[in-house]
Homo-oligomer: A and B are copies of this chain.
Amino acid sequence: MKNLNSIAVLLALIVSLGALQGCSSMGSSDSREKVVMQVSDNDPAKWNLALNNAKNVQQMIGADKVEVEIVVYGPGINMLKLDSAVAGRIDEAKNANVKIVACENTMKGMKLTKDDMLANTSYVTAGVVELMKKQKEGYAYIRP
């Protein structure tokens, strides 16, 4: 009976600690800040604003302390085409570890292939689903 009791107590402790860990990991699984930005306007001023914002966030928080992702979809997709007005800045952003993601559903709708897009663009099937996913993972959402 004493042994049974001891086992039960141990079990209680293990379950309790599991609960504690489960809670804390829900808050933030790692210590880096996270932000996802949306570009869905066909407007180079908005593209520049998003890129400014990304740069700003990295400068303020420290580029190694924050994950920055820009999701580009809908009429915004022109931002990532080879002839983009901000092609140079996109390269800079990528070199600074800003993840830039194009929506393949949008590309399909506009008959664009990866050959039409800037090098090193990342791809997701649906930009909006990516924005949902990132918010669920604890990313702040910014819509410039």
Q: What is A's interface to B at a CB cutoff of 8 Å?
A: 1-2, 5-6, 8-13, 15-20, 22-24, 26-27, 33, 35, 38, 40, 45, 49, 52-53, 56-57, 60-61, 74-75, 105, 125-126, 128-129, 131-132, 135-136, 140-144
Contact = CB atoms under 8 A, between A and B. Distances in A.
Nearest to A14: B16
A44 B22 CA distance: 45
A81 B142 CA distance: 24
A105 to B, nearest CB: 6
User: Assembly of this chain: how many copies?
Assistant: 3
A23 to B, nearest CB: 5
A29 B88 CA distance: 44
A64 to B, nearest CB: 16
A38 B129 contact: no
12 contacts: A8-B13, A15-B20, A18-B20, A22-B24, A23-B26, A35-B128, A38-B143, A45-B75, A49-B74, A57-B132, A132-B140, A143-B143
A5 to B, nearest CB: 6
Nearest to A53: B128
Nearest to A20: B19
A16 B17 CA distance: 8
